[in-house]
Structures are given as C-alpha cells and as structure tokens.
Structure 1
Amino acid sequence: MPWIQIKIDTTPDHTQILEDLLIESGASAVTLQDAEDQPLYEPEPGSTPLWKKTTVVGLFSAHEDMDEVIDYLKINAHLTPFPPCKVEIVEDKDWEREWMTHFHPLRFGSKLWVCPSWKDIPDPDAINLMLDPGLAFGTGSHPTTALCLEWLDKQQNQLKDQTIIDYGCGSGILAIAALLLGAKKVDAVDLDPQALEATIDNAERNHIAPEKLSVYLPETFPAMQARFVVANILAGPLVSLAPTLATLVEPCGYIALSGILAEQSEEILQTYSPWFEMEAPVVREGWAFLSGQRNQSAIAMV
C-alpha cells in the first residue's frame, strides 16, 4: 500500500496538540523525531524528554487529501504562525512493527510499570500493566499520561475499593492502572468507539474481570458519582466539560486533569475552583497536571 507523510517542525510545547490533531484527521501512525540531532542522555525512570526542536510525523494513505488535512490542522491547532510542514511520499514498511520497536517498559511512581505485551517484564514483583494500545492513544510515554499514572500510584491506599471514572480513556491505560492499584470499579468514557474497544482488549490482557470495567460513549454515560475522576484530554474540552466533570465527583472526592499546556494551567485552575480546592500545577516538559478535592460548599452549585 502506498503511503504519504506530513512532517511538522515544532517545539515540545506543541507536540501533543499536533499529535492529537493528526490522529483525529485520520493518520495511521504519528511519530516524533529529532529535528536538530540533539543528544538526549539517559532520562530518569518514567520521564520522556523531547528535543528542543521536534518533528511530528503523521503517516497517511496516499489517497488522503493532504490539503484538507493541513487546513484542519491550521484551523484547530490555533498556532500563529503555523509551524513549517512538508508532505512527501514514503517507502512502504510494516509500520506497526516499526512503531513496536520504540515502545519499551516504563516505571511510574514506586510500584507501577507499563509494559508492552511483546516485551519481557523488568520486575515481576511490581504492579505490571501489560499494554497494546493499537489505534487508541495512551502508552504512558507522554508527560500527560505519565503524570496521571504517577498520581494514581501515589493514591494507591485511597484507591482501594473505590469507584473511578476515566473520562477520555483512550487505550484504557489509566482505567486499568487504577484497577491494578486496587480500585473496585472503573467506568470509562470516550468519544471514539475504537478507544472503547482498545480499553476492553487491554483490560482482558491484564485479566481484569468484566464486571470491574464498563465503557461508554458520552451520550450513553449514566448519571453517577465516583470518589476519583481522571480526565487526560485537552484544555479546551476540560473547560467546556468542567460542570459535567464536577457533577461526577462525589463530595470530598478527587479530580485529576491532564493534557494541559503549562501556560493553560491558570485558566483551568480558575475554571475548576468553584467546585474544587485545587493543588498547584505539576509541570513537566511544558505540560501541566492538575488535581483537586471537591468542596463541600460547592455541592449546591452544580
């Protein structure tokens, strides 16, 4: 099958936005490359450093209208000016196998590992999440997911026997991590039916009992509340969904938000402050993670 790719030179702050938009516009695969031959020395466990100048590469079928793809990126990325990009034909490869060679086991916090299903487990005594994300986003390699996983690892004692809502579940990585860390039940939500399929497949791979995990499209999600709500999406949806997400957190429960650029964190803090006592942002490589506890006084506001 012939392929075509788009290469976009950008900075670490904008890689996640471009990566997500490329996937939304139909890319079969998205990879990140060094644009300036900058060395990266051995990172700390669980960290994923990016080059100061990164090339985001989206792989498409050669039949795709790349003018439409570029227009979609420019309209939705809100980057002024839009970074340089070029489109080129590429040689045919087994792209799934190519991607698999770059996905390695990663540790998050003190107990949790995320391991590709085709790699050996580094620590058999740890909590090992076996992952094959397929077409759904979420391997733990990006700071947005890594920060969520580290937070869940820290909450292990409080997660025990609790119900969790994972809003924007992607591959199911956060939902499955919560269950492996002791949660009683997870309700996972995503706009993409493929993400729900990936979540179910990955749960089965980790021997999660079917009654412990339910998946929903947003329009089918029933009214409920949970002790913990995690949402690793983007800043725009987090703002528009704030009242909805707030209603999902039970009194004195906790919310965790990711997918936020560092410069967007203040807006998100202000948006959620009517309902939550928010902690200071945790920032890594230009991305922010926010968490907070539901105010008792906010119950009547929702």
Structure 2
Amino acid sequence: MSWQQLHLQCQKDKVELAEALFYDLGAVSILLEDAGDEPLFEPMPNEEPLWGNVVVTAIFDTNSDDSFDGTDFEGLANEIAAKVDAERHWTTRLDDKDWTKEWMTYYKPIKCAGNLWIVPEWLDAPEPNATNLILDPGLAFGTGYHATTRLCLDWLSKQDLTDKTVIDYGCGSGILGVAALLLGAKQVLAVDIDPQAVLATTQNAKLNGVADKIQVFLPEEFAKHQAKTGILADTITANILAKPLIGFAPYFAKLIKTDGKIVLAGLITSQIDEVLEAYTPYFTMDTPHNYADKEDHHWHRLSGTRIG
C-alpha cells in the first residue's frame, strides 16, 4: 500500500493558495519545507514564519479513497503549479508505514558532558549506571538534540547543584529542570507560557521519579507564587530567545540570590553583545561558549554570577 504525493516549489506568498487548492482536491495532509537554506529560529507563540521559497507537499490517501482511482496526478500537479507560478513540480509515491512509531526511529540516546545521558523513553540506557534522564519528547521544545539544549545541559553537568533551588524559565519539555534534579538539586520551579510545556514537564518529571521535587507554572501563576513565598533561586536556566532574554534581565536578577548562577541560551552570534549588555549590570558574565568545531557553531551559551 502507498500514498500519492504531489510536490511543488513556490514563493511564500503563494503557499496559502497552493494549500487551498490541494485541500480542495482531497489532500489529507500538507507539509511545508525550506526550498533553500534559510534558517528559521524558534518562533514566539502564535507566530508562524515561513521561508521565502517553499516546497509544498500534499499527501493523498489513495488506499482507502476509491474516488482517486484512475486520477492523473501528474496532470493535477501541472494545473496547480501553473496557478501558483511554481518554479518546479513533481509527484512521488509514499510507502505505507506505521506512522505512530516511525518518528521514534530518529531518536537515539545522547551523551552530554560528564556522565549525563538523555535517553528516549522507549530505549534502553547505554550506560545503566550513568545519570540517565528518561525523556518523552512530546510536543514541547527540548529533546537534547538542539545545540542550545545541549549547551545548557553541559553547563549544568559541571555545576554543584547539591541542595540547590533552580528556576527553569521557559522549561519546554522540562529537560533542564529534570536534569538539575537528577544532578542533585533540591527543588525546581519550572515556568513556560505554553500549557503543552507545563504538561510535558510534569510527565517527564514523573518518568524520572522527581515529580515531588518540581513545581510547574504558567508565568502569571509563578509570579503569584514567588511573590507569596519570596523564594529565590540558587540557579536560573533560561533557554529561550534573545529578545525575551533581554527583557527578563532585571526580573531574573530579582529572582536569584547573591552569587547565584545563571545560564542563558537560544542565542546566535549577532545577539551576544546585546544580551551581555542587558545582564552585566546584574551579573558577572563569563566568556560566551559555543560548539566551535560543530555545525551548530552559530548557537551560543552565556552564563554568569549574580553581583551582590
């Protein structure tokens, strides 16, 4: 059994029309991919940026829908390509698979600095005696595969977190907060604007047996909790984006103890100076760090110590 795919390459202002035309024909799913080499960094919630040049792929279920019997898909591709001024178009067949499990094949255990491993929930730990963080990637950001996450994990693995209170701001999947607990932290306060992240963090904390040491909040809930308890962090992790990091600098300074440590990620090379400028009034900042010998060298990590 197989599925029929129609592909076309067009400018982003024609994508919406292409999608509508494909859906009118009975497409069950549409995939958008970069047609060039134009990076899109993690968007803010409700933002849906597109590349300038896009490959639009429409998938048709020819297995269960008899109305497609005898359909000239090449002809359909030609018609839609003409309507959206496509630069090129083509058709392919997609073999049927168990798609509920297929995505799992792309995840493998990852070794971070020190003795910390990130292990997908359905796989065995390569080193059972290591510090193994069991992760269900789910729908929230933070699988350990992205350079920004690995940079933070490497930093955490080198800290003395024993009996420390950690605030993980922008927690995503909860990977940094859970790692901090496995590395000895006493408690973690995890915060994210995405309800899916709150759920993912809670689930991953349970997978690792640390649910009793972590509290997960939406930002408004956290602000109320912090104002009520007056709790301050020994360590803050924030793997988000440059613009919110800059805005959060004075707020984070109020959330952390004197001599407390902060680690920031989600930064590309051109953003470092502006973020450093925002944090140096409050923190003694370390030299920026990246993976200089890897393809992800454009991602950087900043860390620092709260000034008294």
Question: Does the alignment reach a TM-score above 0.5?
Answer: yes
- Structure 2 residue aligned with 1:73: 49
Structure 1 position 135, deviation (Å): 1.0
Q: Deviations over 1:164-188 (max 9, x none)?
A: 0000000000000000000000000
Structure 1 position 242, deviation (Å): 1.4
What letter corresponds to residue 162 of structure 1 in structure 2? Answer: K
SS at match of 1:118: coil
What letter corresponds to residue 168 of structure 1 in structure 2? Answer: G
What letter corresponds to residue 90 of structure 1 in structure 2? Answer: I
Retained in 1: the 8 A contact 2:35–2:55? no
Retained in 2: the 8 A contact 1:186–1:213? yes
- Structure 1 residue aligned with 2:305: 293
Q: Which runs of 5+ in 1 are unaligned?
A: 26-68, 75-81, 297-302
RMSD: 2.0
Alignment of 1:4 onto 2:33: no
Worse overlay, 274-283 or 90-99: 90-99
Question: What TM-score results when the alignment is normalised by the length of structure 1?
Answer: 0.74
Larger Rg: 2
Structure 1 position 83, deviation (Å): 3.7
What letter corresponds to residue 302 of structure 2 in structure 1? Answer: L
Alignment partners' CA distance in 2, 1:283 and 1:112: 19
Specify whether residues 170 and 110 from structure 1 end up closer, same or farther in structure 2 by C-alpha distance, changes over 3 A only: same
Structure 1 position 88, deviation (Å): 2.1
Q: 1:181 aligns with which of 183, 202, 217?
A: 183
- Structure 2 residue aligned with 1:131: 135
Alignment of 1:265 onto 2:265: no
Q: 1:84 aligns with which of 49, 53, 61?
A: 53
Residues 270-285 of structure 1 mapped to structure 2, 5 A cutoff: 270-284=277-291, 285=296
Equivalences, count: 236
- Structure 2 residue aligned with 1:31: none
- Structure 2 residue aligned with 1:247: 254
Alignment of 1:218 onto 2:219: yes
- Structure 2 residue aligned with 1:141: 145
Alignment of 1:108 onto 2:84: no
Alignment partners' CA distance in 2, 1:270 and 1:251: 19
Q: Deviations over 1:254-281 (max 9, x none)?
A: 1100011121111111111100000111
Structure 1 position 292, deviation (Å): 0.2
Structure 1 position 94, deviation (Å): 5.0
Worse overlay, 82-91 or 270-279: 82-91
Retained in 2: the 8 A contact 1:230–1:256? yes
Retained in 1: the 8 A contact 2:28–2:60? yes
Q: Deviations over 1:72-115 (max 9, x none)?
A: 415xxxxxxx5422322135765442321101000011110000
Specify whether residues 122 and 251 from structure 1 end up closer, same or farther in structure 2 by C-alpha distance, changes over 3 A only: same
Retained in 1: the 8 A contact 2:267–2:301? yes
Paired-residue identity, %: 47
Alignment of 1:153 onto 2:157: yes
- Structure 2 residue aligned with 1:122: 126
Alignment partners' CA distance in 1, 2:276 and 2:155: 18
Alignment partners' CA distance in 2, 1:167 and 1:281: 20
